[in-house]
Amino acid sequence: MTFGGFIGLATFLPTYYYDQFPVSKVQASQLSMLAAFMGAARLVFGWISDRWGGIITLTVALAMLVMLRVMQMRWTRTWAEKGARAVLEQSDRKI
């Protein structure tokens, strides 16, 4: 994608997110910022891939994604368990 196409996409994304999904205008802008950031991150990861090789870079990236996903599942489960306990405690008090 050329630079002009990328700028056009980044300009249109907030409107698209706001019209198509149940998000506020601020959230739509934040999502667009993340998309633009990921597009710019291609430069950094392209340089790393050129320096160390594509297969090594991809392997490291996938390993990091798996590690982050496991951490997220453990963190989410912990918070979900605490939330469930809080709901059960509140329902016991009301009865």
pLDDT digits (tens, 9 = 90+) for 44-75: 888 899 999 989 999 998 999 999 988 888 77
pTM score, whole prediction = 0.48
- CA atoms lying within 13 Å on the CB side of residue 86: 6
Report the pLDDT value the prediction gives residue 80, as an integer from 0 to 100: 64
Question: H-helix or E-strand containing 76?
Answer: helix 54-94
